[in-house]
Chains A and B, each alone.
Chain A
């Protein structure tokens, strides 16, 4: 195999850093409106029929959307194995909470309407709400903690050790702020989806909740930025780092430094496009919901998600997972990827399959275009949710 040397190792690492962003954004945009819809379920839908309308609005698509999360797991494993290893074991109990909540979702969708009875359906509505809220919150909390640095270190065999990162330590003020931002962002996005797929009272309530969530997104995002600037130290590499060198984080040194998270923006002002899109997207979502548009709010909230997640990535580059207790153990783009050959093979696979996936996914969305039909739901008892 020499074909893989066609693309330099360092270039491949940057491409895979971008693809990591694409996967996270893909997940937040596609599965995000499902999660937001689940969060909104108890608030925008009061009667059983209304709730079924909300659930059926994501009914045919949540399974495909959830694959973004699964692919995210698989692709991080393949392209950034050390990130996969450190983050999921370091955030062990947080991951457990996310998985526990996510397990409730598929069964909630599928089983809720299989039986009558207020208790049965009410319990599943709660399960769906938790299934939307907990992952949104905990993932945000995790990002808030990554920005502050995570307490882990690597020994000489590159075995990972954690220096006390319990679930409760994650729930520090900045982590919680990021968690709330994540909830607000996905709620805004879910409301955009509901405005697109439903009408009547449900859509009207979604419009109002969505507008509030959009404003909250702007507020929390700006607050998070200001706090980061004033109160949270960043990280920077203090040694020469061979960008095409072997993936061993211990080959460098790094330190905690005030203002380091803003160095990229000073050096490359174009990167400010990230936070600007995050804010403008959410403001646009607010304005479009206000103006009673049906199709465009969900697009505007998607732009906002793109901007917000890009901001996190651009702020930390080249860091991916900084270590607060041993900065030289921090994972960066240059020292925690897979081998040159694996990155190349996976890039080829992505180049082949992602266009195919996008093609059939958009076909499916076109087939399913249009508002959820309440009459259809009442008529068909065995296949609709």
Chain B
């Protein structure tokens, strides 16, 4: 298979983004868990909670730096590999990225130094504030990056400007309050909380199995199980499926996830299992639950969930309309000044302008979309269907794991309430083995969101293939190899250090005397 610069650029972005997202969820969740643990320390004065904060803080730090390091690449990659994208939507997409720096990264990164270096330089409350600032900063960063990503999925509040050949913001408030972005934010931070909870739960379970650090392990498990239960309920219930009906392509994504080739009468059935075939355009050996999809996706019994074929037909209509928009745009630009544009052309652009991106889908087949044959239009319409088997399976793995996390955290929540955390060794082993699972679920979530958006880089506005920089394939291949080599070395080092730090366990309390009796309770002599 010959890979062109589009495929290679996608591969590099996917690789660096998936890698970056190995570190982000743990940072998101563990920062909050650290803040909770330290809050208990400050409120009760019991030093075991300080020891816990410091111990999980060491693991947090090992993970955090790789998130920071790989995040650098993410900030510049749009310009490097996706320069036409950067030009075309920078007016809208750049703003949340800048706000992420202003509001989130500075807060997180400035205070993370104090978290590690400030234990002896700050008062108890002062240090607690630093820890909460780190947690707030990392969660704000998730907000802004998902506002940016949400806009790629549902490009609200913007319009095309023929004079500058790009999208420009018309309603910034709509960009920030984009329902797709809001759903994604809640879903993603909850997933981060689940990741951290399962991590803390699993590592603590290992200590209990080894009979080490019992006090710290049990307390950590209690915090992780209760926080994790709430988070895993939230991640499933507030999954961003609720956002899938807001736009047409989100509907396409939903139809592809469900491998729903044809529209069914409401409420649609949910396919639990099956083998979707893109060639036959049907799902073999499907196991289906009646009504379930309609209920989950529309929260109603009478709203129709459209199937793939119906959406493709609609895409074909939009391509036709996009060709009219493309034609009008060429005439507008040929006219030179605004005054010279014939009114009929102006009207044609106003009526069809929102479908301009659909005409660009034809660029794969013809240079000038106006000369496309009906077969090419048909083929371009079918291009709007993302990879159905990929979405079908990625989604089911993610959801299956989501339900498992609810179960796991619920069991440990119950055991913790009964004070029998260390009684059932198989359950403890299960918790240890569950440690990698949240990462699999999170990466699958990313696959569903981003593969599901294809062939668009901005839904309905700009096809991915048109967004790429004019670089040589060999150049991009060079950097893929470079990043892959560096990232492989770094993940091996990271895992080694993580395991070493876990094996070593918490440091003994440096001032154990302080724990015995609070000063105000000691009788004056």
A residues at B contact (CB < 8 Å): 1, 59-64, 66-67, 69-71, 73-79, 81-82, 84-89, 92-93, 95-96, 99-100, 102-107, 109-111, 114-115, 156-162, 246-248, 338-339, 341-342, 345-346, 349-350, 353-354, 357, 360-361, 364, 367-368, 376, 381-384
| Interchain CB contact (< 8 A) of B68 among A63, A92, A159 | A63
Contact A89-B114, Cβ < 8 Å, known A160-B83, A339-B168, A367-B122: no
Q: Could you say which residues of chain B place their CB within 8 Å of the CB of A364?
A: 110-111, 113-114
Tell me the bound Cα distance from A27 to B500 in angstroms: 35
Can you sample 11 A-B contacts with CB below 8 Å? A71-B106, A77-B93, A81-B89, A99-B76, A158-B166, A341-B170, A342-B91, A342-B92, A345-B95, A367-B114, A376-B120
Q: Could you say which residues of chain A place their CB within 8 Å of the CB of B89?
A: 81
Contact A349-B102, Cβ < 8 Å, known A106-B66, A160-B469, A341-B172: yes
Q: Could you say which residues of chain B place their CB within 8 Å of the CB of A82?
A: 87, 90
Q: Tell me, yes or no, whether B490 is within 8 Å of chain A by CB.
A: yes
Inter-chain contact B75/A63, CB cutoff 8 Å: no
Inter-chain contact B101/A74, CB cutoff 8 Å: yes
Q: Using an 8 Å CB-CB cutoff, how does the interface string of B413-449 with A read, 1 for contact, 0 for none? A: 0000000000000000000000000000000000000
Question: Of B56-64, B371-379, B393-401, which binds chain A?
Answer: B56-64
Tell me the bound Cα distance from A367 to B119 in angstroms: 11
Inter-chain contact B101/A75, CB cutoff 8 Å: yes
Inter-chain contact A161/B470, CB cutoff 8 Å: yes
Inter-chain contact B80/A74, CB cutoff 8 Å: no
Inter-chain contact A87/B169, CB cutoff 8 Å: no
Question: Of B292-300, B346-354, B475-483, which binds chain A?
Answer: B475-483
Q: Tell me, yes or no, whether B2 is within 8 Å of chain A by CB.
A: no
Contact A114-B121, Cβ < 8 Å, known A74-B100, A95-B76, A103-B69: no
Inter-chain contact B113/A384, CB cutoff 8 Å: no
| Interchain CB contact (< 8 A) of A103 among B93, B98, B478, B486 | B486
Question: Of B36-44, B157-165, B231-239, B278-286, which binds chain A?
Answer: B157-165
Prevailing SS type, chain B contact patch = helix
Q: Tell me, yes or no, whether B18 is within 8 Å of chain A by CB.
A: no
Inter-chain contact B497/A96, CB cutoff 8 Å: no
Tell me the bound Cα distance from A76 to B83 in angstroms: 13
| Interchain CB contact (< 8 A) of B76 among A88, A158, A247, A361 | A88
| Interchain CB contact (< 8 A) of A71 among B57, B66, B105, B113 | B105
Most buried by A among B94, B172, B497: B94
Inter-chain contact B101/A70, CB cutoff 8 Å: yes
B109 nearest in chain A by CB position: A63
Q: A61-B110, A383-B119 are in contact. List 10 more A-B contacts (CB 8 A).
A: A63-B68, A89-B469, A92-B475, A99-B72, A104-B69, A107-B66, A107-B493, A158-B164, A342-B169, A364-B110
Q: State how many angstroms separate the Cβ of A151 from the closest Cβ of chain B.
A: 13
Q: Tell me, yes or no, whether B366 is within 8 Å of chain A by CB.
A: no
Most buried by A among B76, B84, B486, B494: B76
Tell me the bound Cα distance from A350 to B101 in angstroms: 10
Q: Could you say which residues of chain A place their CB within 8 Å of the CB of B81?
A: 89
Q: State how many angstroms separate the Cβ of A236 from the closest Cβ of chain B.
A: 23
The 6 tightest CB contacts between A and B, nearest first, are A81-B90, A88-B79, A78-B94, A77-B94, A71-B101, A60-B113
Q: Tell me, yes or no, whether B514 is within 8 Å of chain A by CB.
A: no
Inter-chain contact B105/A77, CB cutoff 8 Å: no
Q: Tell me, yes or no, whether B117 is within 8 Å of chain A by CB.
A: yes
Q: Could you say which residues of chain A place their CB within 8 Å of the CB of B50?
A: none
Q: State how many angstroms separate the Cβ of A81 from the closest Cβ of chain B.
A: 2
Q: State how many angstroms separate the Cβ of B137 from the closest Cβ of chain A.
A: 10
| Interchain CB contact (< 8 A) of B102 among A77, A79, A106, A354 | A354
Inter-chain contact A85/B79, CB cutoff 8 Å: yes
Interface residues of B in 231-281 (CB under 8 A from A): none
